[in-house]
Amino acid sequence: MGASVVRLELPPESPPPDNLIDILAGAAGSSFAQSIALLLLTALVTGLLVPRVKARMDVRHFAEQKDHEAKLTRQAEIIKEQVSLLKQFSDIAWKYHMTVLQVTYAKASGYRKEDFEAIWETYEATTWECVRDLRRTISHMSYLLSSDFYATLLKFNNMLVGNDELVTVLVESGGRDDTDWGTEHGRLYNEVSGEIDATIRRLAGEFRLAPLAQPSVLVKAG
């Protein structure tokens, strides 16, 4: 038998250094190209989306700003109306009250008949206007008031009307002497005047109208 021949297979030869460099350079070039493409794509997407997103944000901000300005305008209008109604209420209430006080003062002071008749004629015309205007003003304020405070103003209106009716009855019936009229005048002047002031302050509080800040008083050293 002849001897068997053993063949040894050598591994493939490694590429020469020049070929390895080309392969690495090609790989690097491919990665660079991908990076450039990614950057270009990112820039394109950003260029398209950012203006759209910004535009939508600007529209939303503009809408919110307009809504805020509308609310401020409406609030300013309400405050202006509240101030006007408060002044109107105060003017009518005091006019009504002072007209009644003119009668009680004239009676307490013993005015002559002809002088008192002139005062009484003015009283009858003025008090009717005040009754009408005060009740109308309270009605105009109703939507700005709580139910409880609206009821408070109706009671206040009834108080003034009640004083008016009492004075009318006393004058037309010829009752009370000068001393009694003096007492009645003092009651109306003190109690009712204080109630008018208190009601006006409570109404301002109901409207949440803050008083103006008082200026500071500077005291010079002596």
φ/ψ of 125, rounded to 5, equals: -75, -40
Of 221 and 112, the structure prediction assigns the larger pLDDT to 112
Distance CA 8, CA 38 (A): 50
Q: What is the pLDDT of residues 13-59, one digit of tens each?
A: 555 555 545 554 555 556 766 777 676 667 666 666 667 667 677 77
Q: What is the pLDDT of residue 42?
A: 73
